[in-house]
Amino acid sequence: MMDYLACRAKGWDIGSGPTEAQCKTMTARLKGSGMRWDPANGEAMLALSALADSGEWSPYWRGQGIQWN
């Protein structure tokens, strides 16, 4: 069960709107004109897009021992 008050106190979005909007944005990048992705590569692209859109790109790669400027 989710503690809504604790999540809101941390400033986290708890509604479905942001999640649904992000899903629409990410999948639109895979469904552009002429784009053809197989499942494995499509999943990898969605993971990279999620890292970039969430602001977690640099922290993720630093955790992998890679430094980005």
More confident residue, 65 or 47: 47
> What is the tens place of the pLDDT at every residue in 37-50?
788 888 888 888 88
pLDDT at 59 over 80: yes
Question: Phi/psi of residue 44, each to 5°?
Answer: -65, -40
Q: How far is residue 66 from each of residues 4, 12, 58, measured CA to CA in Å?
A: 35, 28, 9
pLDDT for 69: 59
* Greatest mean pLDDT range, 12-16, 34-38, 49-53: 49-53
Q: What is the mean pLDDT of the chain?
A: 80
